[in-house]
Structure 1
Amino acid sequence: MNNNLSKIQRLELDALKEIKVIAEKNDIKFFLRGGSVMGAVKYKGFIPWDDDMDIAVPRGQFEKLMEALKDDWSERFWLANYRKGDEIHAYFPRILVKENYRREEALPTNNHLGFSIIDILPLDGVPSTTIGRKWYKYHVMILRGMGAVFTRDVKDTIVIHSKKKQFAIDLLGKLGVKHFYTQNKIYDKLDNVYRKNKLDGAKWIGTITGSLFDKEMFPANYFGNGVSIPFEDTEFLVPNRYDEYLKQLYGKNYANEEPDHKKSHIEVK
């Protein structure tokens, strides 16, 4: 493994361990999400080429975690959140490396705030009917596209969009979204949409605000109470039915195949 990537992965793991300690003190549960679940299941740690981590936090506990991480909770890491005025250009909060430490360690940047290493997504209820989920999907898609208009010209931020998505974002920009809304107002609208479907008692739940979009809506029993499995030298919760979860996100052959394109948020040298 590239030495720089290995260093980044160790740092990400350190940050998540710090968050785990804070979460346990505050009776907060979180799950690994997406590629981090893949890493835990397939490699018992990081996917070899992965350069970020993702967690999902049930909505009520998500709010508690945001409160616990809003101030100076770490010597090396900090939480960027649009709600507290950070120009993060993302609905969901992110853990970043403090800039003085990033410079000392000669770490890269992957956005205009510095070096982002962990995405924190709320886990929300979603509509239980097929028609309801379709409407929900398109409502979220439009709002996410509107929010992305504001990020097009942000320097030093690596954005990964398909050509089709980028075309839609550019079209929304030409329609003058910026004349009617601020990015944070759009994120507030997204927040209202996500919160509308209560998590408690929901038959379907998900993290549709994530990168895989509508693939990230699941029957609630996929998550359940979670199961703790090894990840490097520690353990984290993953969805209870993680095999079905990963098959929905990455295809039925995820355990035996590697993607042709190994996504990276940085240029690892």
Structure 2
Amino acid sequence: MGAKRNVSLSTFDAFKHVKVDSDLIRVEGDVLHRLQRVLLMMLKDFDALCSQEGLTYTLGGGSCLGAVRHHGFIPWDDDLDVNMSRESFDKLCKVFASRPSTKYILQAPGDSGYELGFGRIRLRNTTLKTRDDFDETECGVYIDIFIIENAPSSPVARFFHGVVSQALGFRYSCRRFFEHKDTYLALAGDDDNFAHIIRVKSGIGHLFSRKTTSQCCLDWDKWNSKYSDKNTGFITIPVGRKHYFGELLAKEKYFPASSGTFEDMLVPLPHSADTYLKGLYGPEYMEVPPADDRESHVVYEIDFGPYA
């Protein structure tokens, strides 16, 4: 009998533990330290812009965990995540549209050549090409911006909003796997279970091939932002690692922001960072994981340009 296959179609963990081959670079050692220094510079610029424009954000994901557990970057972490309300993110898009920056570019869901469900601020004149970059024109070092959405206070309405969000997110994901099947299979290498999941999702994605990946992403983004009642008691981050229901929180647990230390910065964190982090990483989030369980990324190309 063959090996039992995992029935889950999630590829998040698999992509975090891709094995390095001759075409890939693992970000570690001096390269990692330089990347973290550039990301910290970008965060300071982002924080200053938000202060100037009256925009609110918090650190999110592993960056929030780093602030709480390490008071800075998780030592092996090679990216930076922030969470931003839909209202602030829309204002940020207007700022970049009205005053184009010579240093940064903002990418948002639905933008031409950009296929992700969250935003990214990229540093011009640098390169950080990952499995997400299929447009050669803009793939600089980036900060991920995850959009915080309002969720209905009514359990029935919230369930409907969440189920449709997760269905549209799954459609988008499968459509993307269909479009880039060969790239993802190359990353899977000799991991048969990972390759099986890619083929299944790609097959489902073929059913939706009349729409482009960007169109599927934009449909998802529009649905996520559909509930706009600011007085609701709940928020969620549908494009986060745990999707709509896994990222659902009582609004009072997230806002107003608290503060913490990140390297040499004072940064905004979720109001109850403990509640937020337990939801993402479990009750033992303060324990440092063994080396084999640590998340990391592999990249195709990295160049810090004038920031080396």
TM-score range, shorter chain: 0.7 to 0.9
Give the aligned partner of residue 136 of structure 1. Answer: 161
Distance 1:197 1:116 in 2: 32
> In the alignment, which of 121, 131, 145 is matched to residue 120 of structure 1?
145
Distance 1:159 1:146 in 2: 21
Give the aligned partner of residue 279 of structure 2. Answer: 248
Give the aligned partner of residue 173 of structure 1. Answer: 205
What's the CA shift string for 1:4-43, capped at 9, x where partnerless?
1111111111112111111111111111111111010000
Task: Tell me the matched-pair count.
Answer: 258
Give the aligned partner of residue 12 of structure 1. Answer: 39
User: Does structure 2 retain, via aligned residues, the 8 Å contact 1:81–1:93?
Assistant: yes
Distance 1:135 1:168 in 2: 26
**Closer, same or farther in 2 for the Cα pair 1:3/1:135, shift >3 Å?**
same
Give the aligned partner of residue 258 of structure 1. Answer: 289
List runs of 5+ in structure 1 lacking aligned partners.
103-107
Distance 1:20 1:231 in 2: 12
Check if 1:216 corresponds to 2:247: yes
Runs of 4+ that moved beyond 6 A:
155-160
TM-score normalised by length of structure 2 = 0.74
Give the aligned partner of residue 262 of structure 2. Answer: 231
> In the alignment, which of 28, 44, 47 is matched to residue 71 of structure 2?
44
- How far apart are residue 112 of structure 1 and its match? 2.9
Distance 2:183 2:35 in 1: 19
- How far apart are residue 116 of structure 1 and its match? 4.6
Check if 1:72 corresponds to 2:92: no
**Closer, same or farther in 2 for the Cα pair 1:115/1:149, shift >3 Å?**
farther
Distance 2:176 2:250 in 1: 32
Distance 2:187 2:162 in 1: 21
Percent of aligned positions that are identical: 24
- Aligned AA (2:107): A
RMSD after superposition: 2.8
Higher normalized contact order (CA 8 Å, seq sep 6+, divided by chain length): 2
- How far apart are residue 91 of structure 1 and its match? 2.1
Distance 2:287 2:115 in 1: 36
Residue pairs, 1:103-118, within 5 angstroms: 108-110=128-130, 111-113=133-135, 114-118=139-143
- Aligned AA (2:252): N
